[in-house]
Copies of this chain bind each other. A is one copy, B any other.
Amino acid sequence: MSGRAARTRERILATSLALFNDLGEPRVTTNQIADETDISPGNLYYHFHNKDDIVHCLFERFESRIQEILVTPQSRAADMEDMWLYLHLIFEVIWEYRFLYRDLPHLLGRDRKLQQRFRRIIDRKVATAAAILEGLVSSGVMAASPEEIQAVAENIALLATQWLTFQQLRHRAAPLDQQLGRGVYQVISLVVPYLRGEARTLLDRLSRVYLV
């Protein structure tokens, strides 16, 4: 594959991602993608076997991006800073590939492999959230039983997975950073009641930033 071919391939992926995010994958046709990329429909099929191939390719990029984040190099106990960073990174990647979350059942319904891989990502989300919470407990910032940690970790994963979809249902046209900020705030609000005195007010101040 020459440099030119690689560049065309890249442009197809870029416009596909943009259109998918904007309209939802089911409503975007291959002709539309070709048109927007300024190539012919036939040329598109030279670079990709079919539409699912494009989706698959985009998913793989998403997957490697998010796995980078979910690899927690926990050499020390986590603090609230880790939590904050973790949430921001997660939300940013989800935003970048939001079409995957928008029509999740539809996309995964036609590909078992994809389903498995996505499931593994969610499992990791829960595990990472739990690890951070345990870190908070062991460093004394937070007080919670193992069952409580598990329940909160699952809720964090669910919120981080479904927040954008839910939010866009409620307030379609809100600006990006506000939506992501609200998401982080909502997730943090899950943790707040388990924090101890001083840390609780610290977080309280931090989270207020997002409610502008």
* Interface residues, chain A, with chain B CB atoms under 8 Å away: 24, 26-27, 102-106, 108-109, 115, 118-119, 122-123, 148, 151-152, 154-155, 158-159, 161-163, 165-166, 168-170, 185-186, 189-190, 192-194
Q: A24-B105, A103-B103 are in contact. Are A118 and B151 (CB under 8 A)?
A: no
Known pairs A104-B165, A119-B169, A162-B162; list 16 more (Cβ under 8 Å). Answer: A24-B106, A27-B109, A103-B103, A104-B169, A105-B168, A105-B169, A115-B169, A122-B170, A123-B170, A148-B192, A151-B186, A154-B186, A155-B190, A158-B158, A158-B166, A190-B190
Q: How many copies of this chain does one complex carry?
A: 2
Q: A186-B154, A189-B148 are in contact. Are A166 and B170 (CB under 8 A)?
A: no
Q: A161-B166, A162-B165, A193-B193 are in contact. Are A106 and B106 (CB under 8 A)?
A: yes
CB of B151 within 8 A of CB of A162, answer no
